[in-house]
Structure 1
Amino acid sequence: MFRLPVLRCVYISLVFFLSSLMIQPQVFVEAHASAQERDSLYIIYDSSNSMWGELADGSRKYEAGRSALANFLASRIPGRDLAFRAYGHNRRGDCRDSALEVPFTSWKGASGAINEFAASIKPRGKTPINYSLREALKDFGNRKGDILLISDGIESCGADPCALMRDWKNRGINLKVHVVGFGLKDYESQALACIASVSGGSYFDADSAGELVEALTEIRQVAASPAPPAVAPATGPVPPKVAPQQAPPEPRYALRVVAVDDRGRSFIAAGKLYKDNAEIGNAYTHRRMALDGPGRYRVEIGAVLGDRSIYKPAGVDFEVKDGGET
């Protein structure tokens, strides 16, 4: 995730037990966010054979992905150029079927080429995520930036992308990998979330075409966070300047739910979110959800079973305030 040098109101960490499950909902407020300078966004796009499948709303994965990608590209992120790699779109059974289809160029120049290419994709191959990430690192060269992985499945070529992220971290490679997983089973979500978590990126899960658009919108907010201004080295006495008075930025309120079992292992959880005793939406792990400002809230969540039902949801009440620690 990106760093938050200015953070208001801020944080709640609540723990309660559900059978052997320990759930930790976290609420935080962002007043202003700055990120380390990042110049490029590199998209890795799943075009494997499983993209012919359907999401929970009945939409075809490849159609939902193509539409959500076009929506994401429609609005330029200032200061970013763009590249696009696809995998699984050329050959069946080939763990090196991954190609840089649109090299780094301006957002405007790349977006049209990406949309045109995405419209022509016919999913057919495997899911070589690890190989694609390694190739992406080569493509970056000396650039700074982030990777956005959009996938409907996990690594299928016997490699471990999460271990690769640990290796990058140990080698001081500062590339965040943001991941959007869609139409996934629980264990698949866990595997993709690990890539994002270890690299310092964000993970979002989607089960419908609409949720896929929402997930990419969240990624946009992360990627668009402004870089801090460069500070020139001092060369001599500098007369003091009086900074103009500015109103503090308006806070944004969000909820993130982290669920771990009694061994400290994270798992998928879901449920409902309430404000002032009225249901205001669903609550999920691995996803940031907007809150409607300060107030009294309740979250009820439980483990997600294989049939997508919620196992014994338990609830906790909390209050979000405008300043200080909740």
Structure 2
Amino acid sequence: MALLAFLTVLALVPTLAVDAQAQDKDSAGQHGGSGQRRGDGTDSQVAIIVDASRHMTEKSSGSGSETRMDVAKKAANETAKAVADRSETMVLGYGSEVAKAPENENSGCLDITSLSPLGDNKASDLEGDINKLQPKGYAPITNALKQAQREMDFSKKRSIVLISSGIDTCPHPPACEHAETSYNDPMETIHTIGVDADDKGKKVLECIAKASGGTYSDADNIQDLLVELIDVKGRVPNYGTPSGTPVQLADNPDNGFYLGEGLYQSSLPSPPKGKEKGDEKWFSISVPDNTQGRIAITPIPLGFEGGNWIKYGTEAEVRNDSCEYRETYEDYYIWPAPPSAENITITPDQSCDSTKYRIKISGIGDLHDTELPVEILVGFEPIASESEAGPKYGSGVPEDGDKIEIPDTSPQPTPGGTSYATAPEITKSTVSDTLVPGEMKFYRMNVDWGQRPVAEVEFDKNEEPGSRTRRGNLYIASPRRAITSRPLSDELEENAPVTVQAVNTPYVYYLNREGAEQDWRTADAGQWYFVVSLEGYNDNGKPNKEVEFRLSAAVEGERADGPAWRQPLEPGPAPSPEPPSSTGADGSAPQAKDIDNAPQSQTIMYAGLGLLAIVLIAGGAVYFTTVRRK
């Protein structure tokens, strides 16, 4: 038995290692997907009640020649369009059949017409029934509410949408009093939409809604109500999370860990309220001979729930006290634009100790009293000779660059990443995925010297209820994560898809770094990025309906000569308190201080193997003791 236990434990060694590697692979590959889609909504019912009493013939207070009835029909049709494919629906009209006259009061207060019986109605059919209404008589709000309540299924979630001026000409009992005494079922809610409601009418409508846990909206601002009515369960936005080898940034320059070549992740304290920047944090770089250090610091957007135009970014300083070297950098971004990384280039001077470069970074912007995730991309680029550098191109963008036609193919469903680090690599093709408001999707493509990336994206038509506009955006960024194209955007339309192009990135040449700012951004061959986004405004961070997009991307131009080096994208080696040449760069085993900065799954693997060794020793002792006794 002891021998069997020994052999069983021995067999677990490769399993432990494979499991730990799988955990690393899974965590590295996670990025946003399309999320869950909403079901068919047949567990809910919506009754739309439209006021067609005589006073609805009056002109609306808005501009133009619309009457109150016109405004009410528009609100009713928008409501029907939002809910028809998600819920069972019905439409009632009141005041449209019996003329208002003293002798008609009794019949007028019962003048309620079922325009569309409760069922799985199409929005177009509901619209046709609503548009037939003609204002004529009394306003029996209470009786209309009672009839809607009678016709709905008490076992389902029920919503009544009352579209009215709030004038109640049959107050027996008053509508507000009726709502306060008759609507206490959490499955039943009344929402009210005011059509040119005066103070008295608005008070009545607000009372009805409040009594049942519903909301009041003016007819020209019903977007939030419609979003609530459709009970959106599509998904919330997927925001990026940092990738790379974790590193603990230091509080002072002397204790900053040395970073090697690759990707790292950490976080920065955001500025306290009333301050322009957060606490300073440090790391170190040792630049190998005949290379220059290339550093890109990327803040990771948090989504900023509830708003647009949020400023966030980083401030950086590079110093080397051995030669009084100082360089400062600052860049910030305005959400919902994707981050354009803070790019730093360190070209060692012979008077400087190349092992003593200290980098100070701080968080800046409108984000307060929290942590700002950051990714730090490090590369050591060999300094190219004149013969290696390749040609210098005189004009960055062709004059007719905005007229280029992007090759289009059948779209292949391809989930985009939620950050630069999680962007899937694509080839010249068309891919498709979905966005919800406030979300970005990232893709990458190889671009060689002498080429430039071009792209266009087609967004599906805007099927959100109401009239809220959305802007779809397309950006292109370099391997150093610097935005190189103008942020092109366009508003999504209700009736047709919208196409946005990004075709103004210059051709990529090594010697572009000697030119203007726009040129240095296009001085790196390698993995270029395409970023597609959908603005969220006040819906950032909230569940919302998905919009499909189709991204067509390609490279233009002939390959040219240039250096072979490309920026590594993999996680960097474990941070070290000493320059790499003396702490493991020679292939020695990692020390405890390195394990502390390693990914968690590696730490688990080391701990598991240590525990396994103890078990093996104990099992062996038991086995040999048993043999001896025999």
Structure-2-length-normalised TM-score: 0.29
Write the letter of the residue equivalent to 2:76.
Answer: L
Is residue 38–residue 227 contact of structure 1 (8 Å, CA) maintained in 2? no
Residues 162, 192 of structure 2: 8 Å contact kept: yes
Q: Post-superposition shift, 1:118?
A: 2.1
CA distance in 2, matches of 1:245, 1:204: 31
Match of 1:128 in 2: 140
Residue 122 (structure 1) shift: 1.4
Describe the shift of the 1:226–1:74 C-alpha distance in structure 2 as closer, same or farther (beyond 3 A). closer
Distance change in 2, residues 1:250/1:73 (3 Å): farther
- The aligned residue for residue 206 of structure 2 is 193
Deviations 1:265-288 (A, max 9, x none): xxxxxxxxxxx9xxxxxxxxxxxx
1:150-161 mapped onto 2 (5 Å cutoff): 150-158=163-171, 159-161=173-175
SS at match of 2:109: coil
Runs of 4+ in structure 1 deviating by more than 4 angstroms, as ranges, are: 75-78, 244-250
- 2:96 corresponding residue in structure 1: 89
Choose between structure 1 and 2: higher strand proportion: 1
Q: Is 1:40 aligned to 2:54, yes or no?
A: no
**Does the C-alpha gap of structure 1 residues 249 and 156 become closer, same or farther in structure 2, counting only changes over 3 Å?**
farther
- In structure 2, what is the equivalent of residue 219 of structure 1? 225
Task: Give the conservation status (yes or no) of the 8 Å contact 1:38–1:145.
Answer: no
Provide closer, same or farther for how the CA distance between residues 204 and 161 of structure 1 changes in structure 2, counting only shifts above 3 A: same
Deviation at 1:83, TM superposition (A): 0.8
User: Conserved in 2, the CA contact under 8 Å of 1:77 and 1:220?
Assistant: no
> Shift of the alpha carbon at 1:168?
2.1
How far has the Cα of 1:97 moved from its partner? 0.2
Post-superposition shift, 1:251? 2.3
Contact 1:48 1:88 in 2 (8 A): yes
Taking structure 1 as reference, are residues 249 and 165 closer, same or farther at Cα in structure 2, changes over 3 Å only?
farther
Give how far 1:88 is off. Answer: 0.4
Other structure's SS at 1:252 match: coil
State the alpha-carbon separation in 1 of the partners of residues 60 and 306 from structure 2. 31
Mapped partners of 1:125, 1:246: distance in 2: 57
What SS does the aligned partner of 1:45 have?
A: strand
Residue of structure 2 equivalent to 1:302:
none
The alignment's C-alpha RMSD in Å is: 3.5
Tell whether 2:119 aligns with 1:105.
yes
SS state at 1:201 partner: coil
Q: Is the 8 A contact 2:54 2:136 kept in 1?
A: yes
1:116-155: CA deviation from partner (whole Å, max 9, x where unpaired): 1222221101110100111111101333221000002321
User: Number of matched residues?
Assistant: 200
TM alignment of 1:233-312, pairs within 5 A: 251-252=305-306
Give 1:165-180 correspondences, 5 Å limit.
165-169=179-183, 172=185, 174-180=187-193
Q: Deviations over 1:94-113 (max 9, x none)?
A: 1000122211222xx34223
Question: Residue deviations 1:167-199, cap 9 Å, x none?
Answer: 2245x4641100001111112111110000111
- Give the deviation of 1:246 after TM superposition: 9.0
Whole-Å separation in 2 of the counterparts to 1:167 and 1:197: 12
Aligned-partner Cα distance in 1 for 2:110–2:186: 23
**Equivalent residue letter for 2:136:** R
With over 3 angstroms needed to count, the CA separation of the structure-2 counterparts of 1:252 and 1:104, relative to structure 1, is farther
Provide the rounded CA distance (Å) in 1 between the counterparts of 2:114 and 2:72: 18
Aligned residue number for residue 71 of structure 1:
78
Tell me if structure 2 keeps the 8 A contact 1:77–1:223. no
Query: What amino acid sits opposite 2:132 in the alignment?
Result: S
1:202 and 2:212 aligned: no
- Aligned pair in 2 of structure 1 residues 185, 75: CA closer, same or farther (>3 Å)? closer
Residue 87 of structure 2 is aligned with which of 48, 70, 80?
Answer: 80
Q: Shift in Å at residue 50 of structure 1?
A: 0.9
**Counterpart Cα distance in 2 of 1:101 and 1:131:** 16
Question: Relative to structure 1, is the Cα distance of residues 121 and 77 closer, same or farther in structure 2, using a 3 angstrom cutoff?
Answer: closer
Structure 1 alignment gaps of length 5 or more: 1-36, 229-243, 255-275, 277-289, 291-319
List per-residue Cα deviations over 1:189-231 (Å, max 9, x = no partner): 111100001110000124xxxx2xx32x222111122469xxx
CA distance in 2, matches of 1:246, 1:104: 44
Aligned residues of 2:166 and 2:200 also touching (Cα < 8 A)? no
What is the percentage of aligned positions where both structures have the same residue? 21
Distance 1:54 1:196 in 2: 26
Paired residues of 2:46 and 2:88 also in contact (CA < 8 A): yes
Larger radius of gyration: 2
Normalising by structure 1, we get a TM-score of 0.54
The verdict on how the C-alpha distance between 1:75 and 1:197 changes in structure 2, with shifts beyond 3 A counting, is: closer
Do residues 118 (structure 1) and 149 (structure 2) align?
A: no
Show CA shifts across 1:261-312 (max 9, x none). xxxxxxxxxxxxxxx9xxxxxxxxxxxxx9xxxxxxxxxxxxxxxxxxxxxx
Alignment partners' CA distance in 2, 1:145 and 1:205: 21
Q: Against the structure 1 CA distance between its residues 167 and 220, is the aligned structure 2 distance closer, same or farther, given a 3 Å change threshold? A: same
Q: Is the 8 A contact 1:38 1:146 kept in 2?
A: no
The Cα shift of 1:166 comes to 1.8
- State the match for 2:162 in structure 1: 149
2:57 maps to: 52
Q: Which has the higher contact order (CA 8 A, sep 6+)?
A: 1
